[in-house]
Protein backbone atom coordinates (compact mmCIF):
# COMPACT_ATOMS: atom_id res chain seq x y z
CA UNK A 1 0.00 0.00 0.00
CA UNK A 2 1.73 3.17 -1.21
CA UNK A 3 2.04 5.79 1.53
CA UNK A 4 2.43 8.85 -0.70
CA UNK A 5 1.28 8.48 -4.27
CA UNK A 6 1.53 10.95 -7.11
CA UNK A 7 -0.09 10.94 -10.51
CA UNK A 8 0.95 11.03 -13.22
CA UNK A 9 4.45 9.61 -13.02
CA UNK A 10 5.43 11.18 -16.35
CA UNK A 11 3.98 14.26 -17.99
CA UNK A 12 5.05 15.64 -21.36
CA UNK A 13 3.33 18.80 -22.49
CA UNK A 14 3.77 21.83 -24.69
CA UNK A 15 4.74 25.30 -23.58
CA UNK A 16 1.77 27.43 -22.62
CA UNK A 17 -0.40 24.53 -21.47
CA UNK A 18 -1.93 24.19 -18.01
CA UNK A 19 -1.39 20.95 -16.12
CA UNK A 20 -2.03 19.44 -12.70
CA UNK A 21 -0.19 16.88 -10.61
CA UNK A 22 -2.10 15.05 -7.91
CA UNK A 23 -0.83 13.76 -4.59
CA UNK A 24 -2.47 11.64 -1.94
CA UNK A 25 -1.17 10.28 1.34
CA UNK A 26 -2.74 7.52 3.41
CA UNK A 27 -0.59 7.99 6.50
CA UNK A 28 -2.97 10.29 8.34
CA UNK A 29 -0.36 13.06 8.35
CA UNK A 30 -1.28 16.67 8.93
CA UNK A 31 1.38 18.25 6.71
CA UNK A 32 2.07 17.89 3.01
CA UNK A 33 4.72 19.39 0.75
CA UNK A 34 5.74 19.95 -2.84
CA UNK A 35 9.41 19.85 -3.76
CA UNK A 36 11.05 20.49 -7.11
CA UNK A 37 14.22 18.72 -8.27
CA UNK A 38 15.86 20.37 -11.23
CA UNK A 39 18.28 18.97 -13.77
CA UNK A 40 21.20 19.64 -11.41
CA UNK A 41 19.46 17.41 -8.86
CA UNK A 42 18.92 20.08 -6.23
CA UNK A 43 15.76 19.53 -4.21
CA UNK A 44 13.94 22.71 -3.23
CA UNK A 45 10.79 23.11 -1.22
CA UNK A 46 7.99 24.93 -2.98
CA UNK A 47 4.95 24.74 -0.71
CA UNK A 48 3.74 23.21 2.49
CA UNK A 49 0.23 22.78 3.82
CA UNK A 50 -0.75 21.92 7.36
CA UNK A 51 -4.34 20.84 7.88
CA UNK A 52 -5.30 22.38 4.54
CA UNK A 53 -3.67 25.71 5.35
CA UNK A 54 -0.72 27.09 3.42
CA UNK A 55 2.25 27.49 5.77
CA UNK A 56 5.25 27.61 3.45
CA UNK A 57 5.27 29.41 0.13
CA UNK A 58 8.80 29.77 -1.18
CA UNK A 59 9.62 32.14 -4.01
CA UNK A 60 7.70 30.28 -6.66
CA UNK A 61 6.07 31.95 -9.70
CA UNK A 62 2.36 32.70 -9.38
CA UNK A 63 1.77 30.23 -12.20
CA UNK A 64 2.17 27.50 -9.58
CA UNK A 65 -0.85 27.07 -7.34
CA UNK A 66 -1.24 24.33 -4.76
CA UNK A 67 -4.66 23.20 -3.65
CA UNK A 68 -5.51 21.03 -0.68
CA UNK A 69 -9.11 19.81 -0.74
CA UNK A 70 -8.50 17.81 2.45
CA UNK A 71 -5.49 16.97 4.54
CA UNK A 72 -4.86 13.74 2.62
CA UNK A 73 -4.53 15.48 -0.73
CA UNK A 74 -2.29 18.22 -2.08
CA UNK A 75 -2.47 18.96 -5.78
CA UNK A 76 -0.20 21.21 -7.80
CA UNK A 77 -1.60 23.18 -10.70
CA UNK A 78 0.73 24.90 -13.13
CA UNK A 79 -0.48 27.53 -15.60
CA UNK A 80 1.22 28.64 -18.80
CA UNK A 81 3.98 26.07 -18.62
CA UNK A 82 7.50 27.17 -19.56
CA UNK A 83 10.56 25.19 -20.62
CA UNK A 84 12.20 25.97 -17.28
CA UNK A 85 9.41 24.18 -15.44
CA UNK A 86 10.80 20.87 -16.65
CA UNK A 87 11.85 19.00 -13.53
CA UNK A 88 10.87 16.19 -11.22
CA UNK A 89 8.23 17.22 -8.70
CA UNK A 90 7.98 15.36 -5.41
CA UNK A 91 5.13 15.33 -2.99
CA UNK A 92 5.81 14.53 0.65
CA UNK A 93 4.01 14.34 3.97
CA UNK A 94 4.95 14.40 7.63
CA UNK A 95 3.11 14.18 10.90
CA UNK A 96 4.59 17.22 12.54
CA UNK A 97 6.95 20.04 11.84
CA UNK A 98 9.69 19.18 14.25
CA UNK A 99 11.34 15.86 14.55
CA UNK A 100 9.09 13.80 12.35
CA UNK A 101 10.36 12.07 9.28
CA UNK A 102 8.93 12.99 5.92
CA UNK A 103 7.65 10.44 3.44
CA UNK A 104 8.12 11.19 -0.23
CA UNK A 105 6.26 10.06 -3.31
CA UNK A 106 7.99 8.59 -6.34
CA UNK A 107 7.97 11.85 -8.21
CA UNK A 108 6.40 13.24 -11.37
CA UNK A 109 8.78 13.92 -14.22
CA UNK A 110 7.45 16.95 -16.07
CA UNK A 111 8.89 17.70 -19.49
CA UNK A 112 7.83 20.87 -21.27
CA UNK A 113 8.55 20.94 -24.99
Partner 1 sequence: DAKTTQPNSMESNEEEPVHLPCNHSTISGTDYIHWYRQLPSQGPEYVIHGLTSNVNNRMASLAIAEDRKSSTLILHRATLRDAAVYYCILKRNDYKLSFGAGTTVTVRA
Q: Which residues bind partner 1 (CB under 8 A)?
A: 4, 31, 33, 35, 41-45, 48, 50, 55-56, 90, 92, 94, 97-99, 101-107
Per-residue DSSP letter, 15: T
Minimum CB–partner distance for residue 80 and partner 1 (Å): 27
* Beta carbon nearer to partner 1, 8 or 16: 8
Minimum CB–partner distance for residue 94 and partner 1 (Å): 8
* Beta carbon nearer to partner 1, 72 or 102: 102
Minimum CB–partner distance for residue 16 and partner 1 (Å): 28
- The number of beta carbons lying within 10 Å of the beta carbon of residue 67 is 14
Minimum CB–partner distance for residue 51 and partner 1 (Å): 12
* Beta carbon nearer to partner 1, 80 or 107: 107
Using CB atoms within 10 Å of the CB of residue 62, give its burial: 0 to 12 exposed, 13 to 18 middle, 19+ buried. exposed
Q: Are 35 and 44 in contact (CB under 8 A)?
A: yes
If DSSP codes are grouped into helix, strand and coil, which group holds residue 24? strand
Q: Are 75 and 22 in contact (CB under 8 A)?
A: yes
Amino acid sequence: DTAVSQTPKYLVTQMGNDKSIKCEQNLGHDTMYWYKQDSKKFLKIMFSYNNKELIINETVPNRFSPKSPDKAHLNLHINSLELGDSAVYFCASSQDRGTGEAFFGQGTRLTVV
